[in-house]
Structures are given as structure tokens and as C-alpha cells.
Chain A
Amino acid sequence: MTYIAKPKVHHPSLQKNAIGLTRRDYEGAMSTLCAGCGHDSVTGALIHAFWELDLEPHRVAKLSGIGCSSKTPTYFLKNAHGFNSVHGRMPSIATGANAANQDLTYIGISGDGDSLSIGLGQLCHIIRRNVNMLYVLENNGVYGLTKGQFSASADRGSLAKRGEANPFEAIDGAMLALTLGATFVARSFSGDKEQLVPILKAGLKHKGFAFVDVISPCVTFNDHDGSTKSYAHTREHLHEVDDVDFVPLRKEISLPADAGSTPEVRLHDGSVIRFRRIDGNYDPTDKDRAYSYLRERAKSGEVVTGLLYVSPDSLDLHDNNKTVKKPLTEVPYEELVPGAATLAKLQKRYR
């Protein structure tokens, strides 16, 4: 937290994107989080991702629950729509918003407490419905906002700041998402923008629910020795499976020299996610392998990062529900509210 606002001046060479905006135009209010909080870095990465994708801020809706992480939508895209929901209830608000207007880009920001403790049920259902959005879980293993109690993602045996060990098993958001049929699952680290930014971009462009579990250390309550969510511990146990490169549609796609060993996934809009394999033959389109791989690595205490799974032919909420292909605001009133006679006709069908 700081007393002064970030000055409006910028570096003389600051670039504009295709829609004439600089990265600074994607910022929000000055953060009030603790200095060094991982969540601020995730905010920084999101600003890069939105800018690089040339997205119009006013065509974005930011949703969140409660928590330090859930405060962060205020700190980016000041010109976007926003909704700060009740603790753990962001998924239902997001589902409703998306149902009504599928033309906006949706981003949900949540915490491990918000998503895996109080909001676990909500999360399960939004995954199941494959709502088209990027869902970022800023994972620090604690309830930061309420002063550092263990959350449901805290590893068994991880030490609290005062020294006591967590007695319970952790819920792994990424594995949960895989089991529930998520169509895009990734894990990254707030301290590694080179990996995080392309993943966020791919997630924003994925059609369907893109779940990104970001290890995002709480410097104030969970960055000490003995914590398994500290900067140092995360860096020591990081295990990158693949290196993601997101190639948007408007860029010419040139194949790298080792194209054969570089799997690609083409998204519905024609953009491409390209992987550089780091770990042998990890295949992010093979869900079963992904699941067993994650379990194996978790046992040895490793934090697997990268794009873990993506389904190129995902069908989202609207596809499955066969809803009208435009925002409800654009559906003529007579069609949207066809009147009592039509309703009566409809009801008759179910008698």
C-alpha cells in the first residue's frame, strides 16, 4: 500500500497496441494489498495479457468474491465492468452474467479460500457448465484477508507463521478441475510472468471455462520457512511441464524449426497455442495422463506448472444449452418476452 498514486507519466518508448492503447491504459486503481503480495504480480501479468491481446477494456467484465485476491479486479482495467460478489459466490454471478451477455470477455478472480473453502460447491458447478471465462485462482494457502488461517489448499504439514502444522489434506484445484471435466486447466506462479502471461492469454481466448491455479505467495502470513506456498519453496519445487506460446489469429503463424515435436492446439477463433515440451512426452491434450502425472508429482512434493490440459473442441454453456447466439440485450423485446399467449402455448406442451 502506498500514499501516492502511480504517476501518469510513462517511459518515452511505451508502445501502443493494435487498438491504440498503452499497457498503462489497462491499469486500475493503486493497489492496497501488502507490498510484495503475489496477487499484485498476477494483476501485473493480467495487464500485460489484456494489452497484448488488444482487448477493449469496456468489453470486459471482472468478477470476484471476497479476499485479498478478490480485491484485485480494482487494480486492473479501470474501464471494464465489475462485480464484487459475496464470499465464494462469484461463479453463480458469472454464470448469470455470461448467460445474459456472451459477447463480453469474462474474467473471474478468486482465492483458495473463496474457491476451495466456502465456494467449493459453486466452483464445481461453473466448471461443469463450462461457462466461457478465464477463472484465476490466486492460491496462497491461507485466508490472507482474515489474517492467515490455513485454507483448503494448504498442504498437509505446512507450517503456519506461528509454527503449528496443518493437519489436513489439501484440495488441489487443478486436479479437481480435471476430475470435473474442465476444458482448460493450467497452473503457474505469480513470480514467473514469462510463463504466466501466455497462459492467461490462452485462457482468455479459450472457448469455455479456463481454470488457472496461480501460486501467489502471501508475503505477510505465508512466506516463512516451513510454508509450502512461499516464494522460495515454490521456486525450489517448481516443475515446468511445457512452455506455452500463444499465437493470436492476426499474427502470421510461422512454424518453428522443430515443428514436429511442437504440438499445437488450434482454438475456435483460429488462434493457436503452441507448446515447447520440457518434460519428455507430456501431452496437454491427454486428460488421463495429465491426471496421473499430477498425482505422481504431487506425491513427491513437486508443483507442476504449465498448461496441464486443454480440450480444443470444447462446447460452452451456450453451445450445450442451444441458447440464442447474441446478448439478450440485442434480442428484440417481442422475442425475449413473447407474451402471455405464447407462454400459455408453451405450458400446454408440458401438460
Chain B
Amino acid sequence: MQPTDVSDPRYFHKVVDCQWACPAHTNIPEYIRLIAQGRFTESYMLNRKSNVFPGILGRTCDRPCEPACRRGRVDGKPVAICRLKRVAADYRDDVTPYLPTAPTQKNGKRVALIGAGPASLTVANDLVPLGYHVTIFEKLDRPGGLMRTNIPSFRLPAKVLDEECGYIINMGVDIRYSTPVASLKKLLDDGGFDAVFVGSGAPRGKNLDVPGRYDSDKIFIGIDWLESIHFGHTTKVEPTVLIIGVGNTAMDCCRSAKRLGATSVKVIGRKPRKYFKASPWELEDAEEEKVDILEDLSPVRFVYEDGKLSGMEFERFKSVEKDGKLRQEKIDNIILPADVVVLAIGQENAFPWIERDIGLEFKDNMPVVDKATFMSTRPGVFFGGDAAWGPENIIWAVEHGHQAAISIHNHCQGVAVTDRPKQGQNLSSTKMGLHEWSYSNDYSGAARAKMEHVDLTKRLTSLTMEVELGFSIEQTKAEVERCLNCDIQTGFVTKACIECDACIDVCPMDCLTITKNGEEPELRTRLLAPAKNQKQELFLSFDLKQTGRVMVKDEDVCLHCGLCAERCPTHAWDMVKFELFHPHAGEKQSCSK
């Protein structure tokens, strides 16, 4: 194996599992440490720099960081990264003095953003401070996109949304509400914009065309139904409700139904539970509210009695998994009663307002968009968020926005969109004294904090009462200490090592081995603890001075406790803080090693 090149920021970045998994590469361990120090405002601002909507995301993020979190491999439960983000938002002071502002001197370039969802808002957030004149065209009379109209207020209070959308819009975005763009051609021809960003989302809910679909007005499309609840057009629902689909939309539909007066709510999945799209915690939240979640049922037809919708017929399956493949055998057909059926089986893109003859190529009804630059085949027209490649989530929409903003900036400044600022890193020792570090290196055995919820009967009386209470200060104090500080890296200087074995003996997780070099697959089997998690890297030193062997570290379950560095007599090991520089529009490489 070759010695590890730690001058490439990707090596240490990958060690910070959460940050690596976060689409926006939020500096999670640093924001958790700031919370630990009670510096909530700074923690909020650090979050905001990457993910723009800490208050919103601290409640709603799909949290790809948590399944990746190293702590999960150490004691089974990841750090409650997402809800700690909410802690930073909940306990922050007034952040307005620290928010970006628009310069008085504009740069003369005009950019149009279509839709006021998280993707467009992020583009505005990045471009307005650089002097751009940014115009947002929004179909509805309020900002936020699906975060506003589809995510129910009992998960995401309107106040939080208003505040965080406001931080961007109030910089001086020229936002035109109730102004749908009906023709992209016209906007491009007559608008006088230097660049256009399409952040219009994936606005169409999928239909289920089975017999009886059009014979009742009690059959709804999930995202439309949620929108009509948001706008107050739907204020109550009949007692028995079936939700078809087991994604996140279905979870919001069933929980909304409960609040609109339904007494029996069933969510229907075609496959067994482990294949459901909804996050485990959303399924749990729904079940806590006495929603039944049924599996192995496939819709056949709507059932009517005296011309009135009375239920739905399903094929019932038995599922067996063989060689990792799911097989479903039909058992029989059953009918479940229903007064109302909501179809929540997914979303599609629709671009009826984009002409197909304007040099903007489509393939399978989707625009052709470059994965790195977010530019369509028509120079100057960019896509991001759900509009680019179909429905994703908020944090992806945000990162798309950041990347598209870089491209738009380049495009407007006459730089190739492919000429992008590079990632960099900053490394600094955390050593404060003989065995003192500038971070809390002692391992805490605390169990993951449990989010408290509003009492069940109370919460079901209101569509807007937020269910989650947030973490208390006591919970926060315990939870922050669970973070392993994975950004505090074990830096190794080969020439200082005297091969005394001290680090190896002290390491609680058997991460370290001094051995003969070899090919990686074989080397992985020869370590003190076999390195079976192939997704985690091995660090390899240069040849050691005294014996020519190498120091190998399996990054997999390192606690970043610093004991190796404390035990090292020659400071060959040091605990080194890694900061990723992940550039946004207008930012130059600010630091190297």
C-alpha cells in the first residue's frame, strides 16, 4: 500500500463521517462543540454558512449524516446531529448583525430565479452579497416552496420558516409573488437577465389509475391535499382514511388526517416495512399518533356502495427474501373500508412552461443538466433542487443552490462554469499542555437523548402545534459530549516514531498496528483488529525508521480520544483539527495546509 496523502483534503474529510455525508458538508463537530460551549449564535451561523436554514433543517432534515455518524458504529446510536442543529437555532440570540448583506454598489448583473423554494433562496443568499440584482418569480403568494405548502406546521412552525426565508429576502431580493413564469422563452427573450435559475421543484403528485379512480371527489393526490390544508381549503376529514404510499408525504398526510378529525387512519405499503421510503423516525412518529401502518398490500380498485366511496380492494402478499431479493406471493384479496383515500405514491417533474425549441435539451421529459455545473444545454440557464433530477430533499436543494450560484457567478463574470474553486483544508494542532487538548477528548458513555413530544391528545387538536419540544439544556449537555470530534484528526509524523508501541497498547479501540507493509486487502486482515469495514480508509505511514515497518490506522471506530497522542513520547502522533474549505460563490481558496 502507498503512504496516505493527507495533503489531499478528501482523506481527512472522509474521516469526518457526518460532514462527508452531508450534501452541504456542514462542519458538524465544530458546531456541536460551539453548542457545548454555550455559543449558540456562533453555532447557528456556522450552520447557516453551509446549510442556510438551520432552524428549518434542525426539524426536518433527512439527516444523511446520522446513519453515517461514527458514534453509531461505536455504541449503536448516532449523535442526534439534526436536533442539536435545532438547539443552536432555539437558543441563539439575535443573529441579524451577522447576516450577509447586499453591497451598496451593485455589480450590474441581473439574475432571475424561478420559484421561491430552498434551492432558489440559496442561490439568492449567495449572489445578493456579491452585488447581483436577484429577481425571484414565485407562483404562490408566499416563499418557501414545499417547505411551506407541504411540510405541516406541526413539524415546521411558520415562524421558523418566515424568519429564515426573511433573512435572505430582506437582503433586498426583488421577489415577485403570485407571478408564475408561463414561458421560459419569453423570460429569456424579454427579461434582460444575465442568467436564469430554475428552482421550480417537482410539483406534480403521481396518480394511481385503477378502476373507480374518477368516480368520487374523496380521492386526493397527497401533495395537493397537503397544500389545500396549508391554505385552509381543507379543514376537516371523514372518520376513515386510507393513505396509499409509505414515503415521507404519506407520513405527513396520515398525521394531518388525524388532526382533521379522522378516527381510523391506515397507511398502506406494497412492500414490507424495511423497504419503506419514509425515515424510521417518521414511521415511529406516525405510529405514536395511532396510525396503522400496513405492509404487503397492492391496490386493485376503489370500492363503492350506493355510488359512494366505501373502501378499497387490495391484493395481499406474503413476502420472502431470498439471496437479498424480495419475492412477493399473492395470498388473497381484501377490502379495507374508507371514506377518503389519499394517494401519496411519489412526485414527478412537469415543465409545461418550458418551450422545447429554445436550445434547452430534454430527455425523457427532463432537462439535460450537468451534474457538476448545474447548467442546462442552453448556456446561462441553470437548474437545481427537485427541478434538476427529480424529488430529493431540502439539504440537497441547498447544496444545488450553492453550486449553481458558483456557476452563475462564473458565467456572469466571463469565467468558464467548469473552472470551479477547489476544496482546501486547514490543519492546526489542538495541543494545549502535556495532556490537555482544546477539545473535550474524554469519551462519554451517555445514551442518545430522546426527543420529548407534546402530549398526544393535546397535539391532535391542532394543525399548527409543534410536536417536538426540542432538547432541554440538560439533554443538550449530555448529547454534545457523545460527539467523538471526528474532525480532530490523528496526525502522524513518521520520522518521529521510535516504535515503542505505546499508542498501540493504549488505544481502546485497537485502531493501530505496526506491521510489514502489504497490499491493502491482505493488510486489512493482519491488523490488531481486522479492518472489515471496507468503506472506511486505512491510514498508512511512510516506512518507519528503526524497522522499516509501517504504522497503520483503521479509521473505522477511532474515538478521537487522543490517548495515542498523549502516550506518544515523541509527538509522532498529534491531535490535529481539520477544517474543510468548501467554497461558495465568490470565495477563493482561503487556506491550504
Contact = CB atoms under 8 A, between A and B. Distances in A.
Contact of B567 (A8, A35, A43): A35
A44 B442 CA distance: 22
Interface stretch (A10-18, A159-167, A179-187, A247-255): A10-18
B501 A6 contact: no
B500 interface: yes
B356 interface: no
B568 to A, nearest CB: 6
A219 B568 CA distance: 11
Interface of B is mostly: loop
Contact of A191 (B434, B436, B499, B569): B499
B498 A232 contact: yes
Interface stretch (B175-183, B361-369, B506-514): B506-514
A1 interface: yes
B545 to A, nearest CB: 8
A294 interface: no
Q: For the side of the interface on B, what is the size category? A: 35 or more
Contacts of B57: none
Interface stretch (B123-131, B162-170, B557-565): B557-565
B277 interface: no
Contact of B505 (A14, A44, A232): A44
Interface in A31-79: 31, 34-38, 40-41, 43-44
Nearest to B531: A13
Contact of B568 (A1, A7, A31, A36): A36
B532 interface: yes
Interface string B70-111: 000111000000000000000000000000000000000000
Given A36-B570, A231-B546, A11 B500 contact: no
Interface string B445-467: 10000000000000000000000
Contacts of B498: 36, 219, 223, 231-232
A7 B566 contact: no
Contacts of A34: 569
B106 to A, nearest CB: 55
Given A3-B436, A219-B500, A232-B498, A11 B529 contact: yes
B299 to A, nearest CB: 42
A342 interface: no
Q: For the side of the interface on A, what is the size category? A: 20 to 34
B559 A9 contact: yes
Contacts of A277: none
B518 interface: no
Contact of B509 (A2, A11, A35): A11
A190 interface: yes
A24 B570 CA distance: 26
A193 interface: yes
Contact of B529 (A4, A13, A36, A235): A13
A190 to B, nearest CB: 7
A43 B511 CA distance: 19
B561 A7 contact: yes
B207 interface: no
A335 B563 CA distance: 54
Contact of B435 (A3, A6, A14): A3
Contacts of B501: 40-41, 44, 190-191, 193
B74 A40 contact: no
A12 B73 contact: yes
A220 B498 CA distance: 13
A180 B441 CA distance: 51
Q: Which of B73, B443, B502, B559 has the most CB of A within 10 A?
A: B502
A91 interface: no
Contacts of A14: 510, 529
A235 B546 contact: yes
A10 B505 contact: no
Contacts of A10: 508-510
A111 interface: no
A2 B442 CA distance: 11
A34 B506 CA distance: 13
A11 B505 contact: no
A108 interface: no
5 contacts: A1-B434, A4-B435, A10-B508, A190-B500, A220-B569
Interface of B: 73-75, 434-436, 441-443, 445, 498-502, 504-506, 508-511, 529-530, 532, 546-547, 557, 559, 561, 563, 566-570
Nearest first, the 5 A-B pairs at minimum CB distance are A36-B569, A44-B505, A7-B443, A11-B529, A4-B442
Given A2-B563, A44-B504, 17 more contacts: A4-B442, A7-B443, A7-B561, A11-B509, A11-B510, A11-B557, A12-B73, A35-B502, A35-B566, A36-B498, A36-B502, A36-B568, A37-B502, A44-B501, A191-B499, A223-B569, A232-B546
